[in-house]
Amino acid sequence: MNLLYNLGISLFSLGVKIASLRNPKVRKMVKGQAATMETLRNTVSPDEKYVWVHAASLGEFEQGRPLIERLRRERPDLKIALTFFSPSGYEVRHNYNGADVVVYLPLDTPGNAREFLDILNPVTAIFVKYEFWGNYLTQLHRRGIPTYIISAIFRPGQIFFKPWGGMFRRWLGYYKTLYVQDDNSRDLLSGIGIDNVVVAGDTRFDRVTDIMSSTVGISGMYLFGYKYHPVIVFGSSWEADEAVYIPWLKKNPHVCPSMKRCSPRLPTAAAASPTPKASASSSSTHSACCQASTATEPSPMSAEDSATEYTTSTRRPSTVCPSSSARNIRNSRKQPASSTAAVDSRYRQPSSSATSPTHSSLTRQALKRPEKPPETISSAISERPTGFSTTFSTPTTAKKTALNSMIKVGIIGGSGYAAGELLRILINHPDVTIQWVNSRECAAQKITDIHQGLVGEIDMTFSSSTPLDKIDVLFCCTPYGRSREFLGNVTIPEELRIIDLARDFRMPSESHDFVYGLPELNRKAMVRGARHVANPGCIAVAIELMLLPLARNMLLNSDIHVTAVTGATCSGAERRPTSHYAWRNDNMIVYRPFSHHQLPEIRHTIAEVQPSFSSEINLVPMRGPFSRGIIAAAYLDCNISLPEIKRLYEEYYDDHNFTFIVDKTPDLKDVVNTNKCLIHLDRIGGKLMITAVIDNLLKGGAGTAVHNMNLLFGLQELTGLTMKSSAF
């Protein structure tokens, strides 16, 4: 039987080489397989420990990717070798930075299997889903290398369960553990004497969880959304899927008060014709929209109300909800979405229509500090997996009841610099009305007596009271300690959103449920229903934005040295010797070296993203002779090429509206008076140099606070924050 198998592989090899003469895709595979051994010899060091992960193609890679990235996080001592059989996988993912080496898998001949394993000598081998290469499995078994298969699925018609499938059944016995997707697969294997089986589910669920934790912008997602109402989109679903989720949604109306299947907007001539009905085997796209209607049965929408999207005649009409804002606010340069599987209406563009529909109250889950994605399948090095589960949470109901409702804002600590900038933004914010501004020291004074730059824009006095039941969101702009004191002495309405600009709640604690409010890190938590947000510190914003892409890719493996020069407004509006013009002008000084109060939140944030990070962050802050802004420069060890580093940064910030990678060293004046962060990268010798500039009062304070408010209330992220720098 082995002889017949090897003969079949040889004939297949010959057929592939013949096909490569006319097929460019096959030619790439043949060429890539021929280069594999040489690539491994030039890359793999004998003293390095490798885990070999093999995926047939791109789909299998996506199933194996969560395990690869978890291995990266939890076992940084191990290297990853990733192999593909198909060009569809290799040509797309050959630059995947989660693996140390990515190559084609040579055809399964005895000689190739021996040579491949002689060079790589992995400590563990992991195959994904449908990979049963006899010679490789035999060699792994003979060498005592633990071998696993994940996300495997078996069906009765496969050769393993045929009377003549003895050789193939023997190969299954070479796996130390088979992690299968369902009970049927386990039962089939048990029937042929294979008992080292664990039902661990499909790692595609893990991949979806990972995607949801790192949002990706998709142009046009606003078509699905309503301003204050979450939307569930079921993309390319099948009849069997619909039989599960539609009854579930009907039984759980708190998730979706009503459902509508939207018809495509067709040309007038075609609008009257019915859309062809899909066959039972065709796929479809549905969305469950939380709307004012209390009906639970799907109802067709008119062509005039539907979105301008088409589907092919073999599919049902795409379920696309109309855009829902009549307000003419500025368009976003990117349209981020929470994920392709569950899209929040919070990321939307304005409609060009003059009217907008009425909606029901927003349903939203109240979150505590963002947690890590649920544990799924444990490292292949471990003996047993943890398993995974899919859960649905019960949202709470927020205050907003209609599209045209304005967000009512209250501010405490209204006399400081941050509050002044916050007022400047909110006065011009199209979806906000300011109810009251509280100040202990300035009660009954006109706001423009303190913030003179707002003359002609606001005619209010500072309030001595704080009626929390009259507002939807509270901004705390008080000095350190006063936010906690204030909130501890008042009754907080359940649906009140709170954004704290002080540092009272930045570090996680069992005593509070504040989410760390850096949108480039925790946007998901805020758009998914967080109520309380702790704005990050201004220096922390600059440094974290400099380092997050490296941390996300597990590349912070040396001490980090940072110098940050801050403007006078970083010290607040309270008068002190170091804020006087005579002292500050033409002067610079180091303060709190290696002990700045924002260092703990920086270290914690980086460690949350890269759990293996244990190096030092050596921060030397300096007071600069200018009013506002922060310029930070960091350097660290790096052995990756500059183009690759730039690619990682551009990928990370691709769907974020306020952080940009620039080609020349930025000036402070490029960002002062804006909510932007500009980052410049350079590699000098073995060091990576990173420079970042922000406005400490906007990106480091009030601007990020308003950005967080936009996320909490489902507004477009740029709303109210499009500002020009004061460069000239």
Q: Which residues are part of the catalytic machinery? A: 538
DSSP-assigned letter for residue 698: I
The Cα 152–Cα 164 span in angstroms is 22
Residue carrying structure tokens 């039962």: 187
Run of H or E including 411: strand 407-412
Q: Which residues of 427-460 are buried (b: 16+ CB within 10 A; e: fewer)?
A: eebebbebbbbbbeebeeeebbebbeebeeebee
CA distances from 623 to 236, 535, 595 (A): 56, 22, 15
Four-CA torsion 457, 462, 467, 470, nearest 10 degrees:
-10
Instruction: Note whether 10 and 109 are within 8 A (CB).
Output: yes
- Give the CA angle between residues 639, 644, 649 to the nearest 5°: 110
**Strand spans (E) along 446-597:** 473-476, 497-500, 515-516, 532-534, 560-566, 589-590
- Nearest CA to 442 out of 573, 571, 580 is that of 573
Cα-flanking dihedrals φ and ψ of residue 183, to 5°? -65, -35
The Cα 448–Cα 455 span in angstroms is 6
- Give the CA angle between residues 127, 132, 133 to the nearest 5°: 100
Instruction: Note whether 237 and 315 are within 8 A (CB).
Output: no
Instruction: Note whether 705 and 475 are within 8 A (CB).
Output: yes
Question: What SS3 state is found at 431?
Answer: coil
The Cα 276–Cα 290 span in angstroms is 27
Chain-centroid distance, C-alpha 276: 37
The Cα 193–Cα 293 span in angstroms is 56
The Cα 98–Cα 65 span in angstroms is 8
Question: What SS3 state is found at 688?
Answer: strand
Max CA-CA distance within the chain? 94
Q: Which amino acid is at 462?
A: F
Instruction: Note whether 64 and 102 are within 8 A (CB).
Output: no
Residues in Cβ contact with 586 at an 8 Å cutoff, skipping those fewer than 6 apart? 625
Chain-centroid distance, C-alpha 17: 42
Instruction: Note whether 539 and 603 are within 8 A (CB).
Output: no
